[in-house]
Amino acid sequence: MNINMLMQQAQRMQKEAENNIKKVKEQLALTEVQAEAGGGLVKVTMTCRNVVKRIEINPELLQDDADMIEDLIAAAMNDAARQAEAISEEKLKSANSGMGLPPGLAGMF
């Protein structure tokens, strides 16, 4: 094998990895997670690209203190963000698998 063939193979692998990652990111933009706080009093729907689609607040909660409502919204959003991050990491990791990248390099993409 000469160096030109190795370079061409590396370029093909890089392009394939970039295409895989692009597809995964597109899928993540459509993948939604749901989280709740306060036993379901506040519910948040968010994409795995951290776009909040919906916040639901139980009408009973609206009679309570604003600080508590704000805390529950923050808790639900943080939970949704954690879920989205976990799904994103898993899908991006699988997009890089099979690319023949040495350990440690797959995380760079």
Q: Over the stretch 6-18, which tens digit does the pLDDT of each residue have? A: 888 888 888 888 8
Annotated domain spans of the chain: 31-94
pTM value is 0.72
Among 23-37, 60-74, 86-100, the minimum mean pLDDT is found in 86-100
Q: Which amino acid is at 27?
A: Q
| DSSP helix/strand/coil, 30 | helix
Quick one: pLDDT at residue 46? 96
Quick one: pLDDT at residue 109? 46
What is the average pLDDT across 68-81? 95
Q: What is the C-alpha separation between 49 and 92, in angstroms, rounded?
A: 12
Architecture in CATH of 31-94: 2-Layer Sandwich (3.30)
Among 13-17, 37-41, 55-59, 102-106, the minimum mean pLDDT is found in 102-106
Phi, psi of 46 (to 5 degrees): -140, 145
Residue 10's alpha-carbon distances to 3, 7, 20, 27, 44, in angstroms, are 10, 5, 15, 26, 42
